[in-house]
A and B are shown apart, each in its own frame.
Chain A
Amino acid sequence: MAGEEHTKWVMVIDLDRCTGCNACVTACAMENNVAFAGEEENAYGRGMHWIRLVRYWEGEYPEVQMRTMPMMCQQCSNAPCEPVCPVFATLHSEAEELNIQVYNRCIGTRYCANNCPYIARTFNWFDYEWPEPMNYYLNPDVTVRRRGIMEKCTFCIQRIRRAQEEARLEGRPVRDGEVQPACAQACPTDAIVFGNWQDPHSKVRQLAESQRGFKFLEELGTEPKVIYLSSQRHEF
């Protein structure tokens, strides 16, 4: 029973709370063994960030406004990246309703990345290094990816699994809020909330019912599982 039931993991991001501080970016990188690529590679758009803050300037000085939007894999129910992979390296997990990336299966066609409307995928252009002893901090729950394969946000599936296993050992369902991806955990303003949509009392479910809720590029029919709550602005 516990931990086995059908789950649908959903993330709610309150853009009104989000300050764009990038703590989620660093947290994600540290949790998921995301490699750092250095200045030149980043200048050429080869940063490995799984989550990034999409930032826009709006208006003109002095009425200029910055808008940010954390963007990561939206774990689409109808993910465009999945069917184009020739070797099933990215596919849909039916138990968690997540979009899975199987690193060991990936042969690096990069088609999935081209077909992702959220530009959520990053590619291992090289073998990246964590010079000794920096490799000590690498998370043993997360594969270190080698060159030539695709990677992306996993909703910290290792944490979901850990919580499910613990819940199963204790013979109870996973509690709401028990699973927190690294980004949600770090978020200083609690803008990111994570939870199980199937649980009608979950916080994500309640937040998602907000009138501010929207899904990014929803019109494409990808059915993303990240729900944004639009930011507001008081006009003076």
Chain B
Amino acid sequence: MHSETPLPAELHGQVEELRKEHLLIDVRPREEMNRMVLEAMEDTSREWKWAMAFLGLVTVVTLFGAWAYLMSTGMGLAGIRRPIFWGLFIVSFVFWIGISHAGTFVSAILRVFKAEFRRPFTRAAELMTTFALMGAGLYPLIHLGRTWRFYWMVPYPNQRWLWPNFRSPLVWDFFAINTYLIGSTLYLYLPLIPDLAMARDKSTGWRKKLYTILSLGWRGTEEEWRHLTKAIQIFAWAIIPVMFSVHTIVSWDFAVAMKLGWHSTIFGPYFITGAILSGIAAVGSVLYLVRTTMKNMTYFIRPEHFDTLGKLLLIISMGWTYFFFNEFILEWYGGEHTVKEIIRFYTQGDIAPVWWLMVICNIFIPWAVLWNRNWRRKPWVMFLMGLIVNVGMYAERYVIVTGALSRNRIPFDWGWYQPSLVEISIAFGTFTLFLFMYGMASRLIPLIPVWEVEEGHHAHSLRKVGKTVVPSVADLE
């Protein structure tokens, strides 16, 4: 099992290389890993405090302040107009929903496929899912003309027996996002319980109290583990279709509409691929931040992880390109005037810079960079790639939402959209909110699932095959 076959001394150099490369065979004792994770978690340095205070303040002003101003004055503060009734809010909504696919994809899909490299960063990715969803969930509220009436979308028995319209994609959205938010939060929480118990055992003061409550009295008995691992299995399988449904339904917000440039059957998979693309890219950026700003993280997050993320990113970028091209060529080929104009508007019109930005950021740059193993293994390259791809994905949503709305079947009523300061402020505020929440969470919960890493260690060992050593994997689960 976890015990290693003794290796000949002449292979020690090679072993060192392999250990440097792979976390899961670079075994450190559980105590040490616990200590490292807790040290990183409890590192509430002055810089961190300043950063959080700054991010929190900026969020309060740019997001909540601007939102209050918007609510009290009217939706006219946004740059939307007739006929572009949806603007940056919906763009950001789709964007953050996309980001939220990272955690699920990395964690659930890779777990289902037993991709071992996932282990150290599943939690970092799952946290992104939850916080991105929280950010995304704000937008349907922000963008409502009468936010204070949002609860009319909730099916609750009322005096008039008036219910929401379950045929509306927005109600589907409501249910899908809530299911996904609940599901992904629980999915984040379940594997967290043993680590919280570990933190409970190792901390003092308020943290002890907090973790005592949060760990729910976890002891690690056979029963507990049996139910927990079973539930994680169920979750991993269940959350994947939910994740697909969420972004499909978000794409249906557009695709069901009688709107040229939106009414496309390919939007479901196209949006999902885009979401995973931006999610994976965001994981790369966030992991870089985690690795560079938190203590001891260079041990857990290694170039091999960035390498694998890079490969995934490249593959998904290709997938996205496939769908994008599919959608584009069919519209380009079709003869309808409005569609032709939409294509012209995308590629040559006012929105063309954004459209080309999308193409460059989502196709050209990833394809040019990510084929190279050495670049993939450089964390800062992957950080930049994450940012670039996300800029591209934001541009994609911007083009789809506002670009398609700018052109319709009545040329008299075409329009051109300019985001207003309030909109930009709110969109920016969600980024700071995300960073704030993530920063806070990174100091409150163990960001590395230690027990999973240890589990991985047990599953991996080095074996001598012929004249060399190879890591071997035993199926532990």
Contacts and interface: CB of A to CB of B under 8 A. Distances in A.
Q: State if A and B touch, Cβ cutoff 8 Å.
A: yes
Interface of A: 41, 44-47, 54-56, 71, 80, 83-88, 105-111, 113-115, 117-119, 122-127, 147-150, 217, 220, 222
21 contacts: A45-B83, A45-B415, A54-B410, A55-B412, A84-B170, A84-B257, A86-B153, A86-B164, A86-B174, A110-B86, A114-B86, A117-B408, A117-B409, A125-B74, A125-B75, A125-B76, A127-B74, A147-B74, A147-B146, A148-B74, A148-B144
A106 B81 contact: no
Contact of B145 (A88, A105, A150): A150
B258 interface: yes
B75 A108 contact: yes
A149 B144 CA distance: 9
Contact of A109 (B76, B143, B257, B405): B143
B171 interface: yes
State the majority secondary structure of interface residues on A: loop
Contact of A87 (B153, B257, B258): B153
A230 B111 CA distance: 64
Q: Which 6 A-B pairs have the closest CB atoms?
A: A108-B145, A148-B145, A125-B76, A126-B74, A110-B85, A147-B74
B420 to A, nearest CB: 10
B83 to A, nearest CB: 5
Contacts of B415: 45
B257 A80 contact: yes
Contacts of A44: 81
Contact of A80 (B164, B258, B411): B258
Interface residues of B, number: 42
A83 B81 contact: no
Contact of B410 (A88, A118, A125): A118
Contacts of A56: 411-412
B168 interface: yes
Nearest to A56: B412
B149 interface: yes
Choose among B144, B145, B408, B411 the residue with the greatest number of A CB atoms under 10 Å from its CB: B145
Contacts of A88: 162, 164-165
Given A84-B256, A86-B164, A119-B410, A107 B144 contact: yes
Nearest to A125: B76
Given A83-B168, A122-B82, A107 B75 contact: no
Contacts of A220: 258
A110 B164 contact: no
A188 to B, nearest CB: 22
Contacts of A87: 152-153, 164-165
B82 A119 contact: yes
Chain A CB count within 10 A is highest, among B74, B85, B170, B257, for B85
Chain A CB count within 10 A is highest, among B143, B149, B169, B171, for B149
B43 interface: no
Given A88-B162, A117-B258, A122-B82, A107 B153 contact: yes
Interface in B80-135: 80-83, 85-86
A126 B77 CA distance: 8
Nearest to B152: A87
Nearest to B172: A86
B378 interface: no
Contacts of B73: 126, 147
Contact of A45 (B82, B171, B174, B408): B82
Contacts of A147: 73-76, 145-146
A85 B405 CA distance: 18
Contacts of B83: 45, 113-114, 119
State the main secondary structure of chain B at its contact with A.
Answer: loop
Given A55-B412, A83-B168, A107-B150, A124 B145 contact: yes
Given A87-B153, A87-B164, A108-B146, 9 more contacts: A55-B412, A85-B165, A86-B164, A86-B165, A107-B150, A111-B168, A117-B408, A119-B82, A124-B75
Contacts of A83: 165, 167-168
A145 to B, nearest CB: 10
Contact of A123 (B85, B152, B253, B259): B85
Given A45-B415, A114-B259, A108 B144 contact: yes
A47 B412 CA distance: 14
Of A54, A117, A220, the most chain B CB neighbours within 10 A belong to A117
A119 B86 contact: no
B74 A115 contact: no
Contacts of B144: 107-109, 148
B413 interface: yes
A111 B256 CA distance: 11
Interface string B153-171: 1000000001011011111
A47 B415 CA distance: 13
A44 B167 CA distance: 33
Given A84-B169, A125-B75, A148 B81 contact: no
Interface in B369-422: 405, 408-413, 415
Contacts of A47: 82
Residue from B82, B143, B164, B410 with most neighbouring chain A CB atoms (10 Å)? B82
Contacts of B169: 84, 111
Contacts of B147: 148
Given A106-B145, A113-B82, A114-B86, A86 B168 contact: yes
B405 A124 contact: no
A107 B405 contact: no
Given A45-B415, A119-B413, A125-B74, A149 B165 contact: no
Contacts of B174: 86
A113 B145 CA distance: 13
A83 B171 CA distance: 11
A30 B76 CA distance: 23
Nearest to B420: A44
A84 B255 CA distance: 12
Nearest to A41: B76
Contact of A149 (B76, B146, B167, B171): B146
A113 B164 contact: no
A148 B85 CA distance: 12
Contacts of B257: 80, 84, 111, 114-115
A126 B165 contact: no
Nearest to A118: B410
Interface in B26-73: 73
Contacts of B149: 107
A118 to B, nearest CB: 7
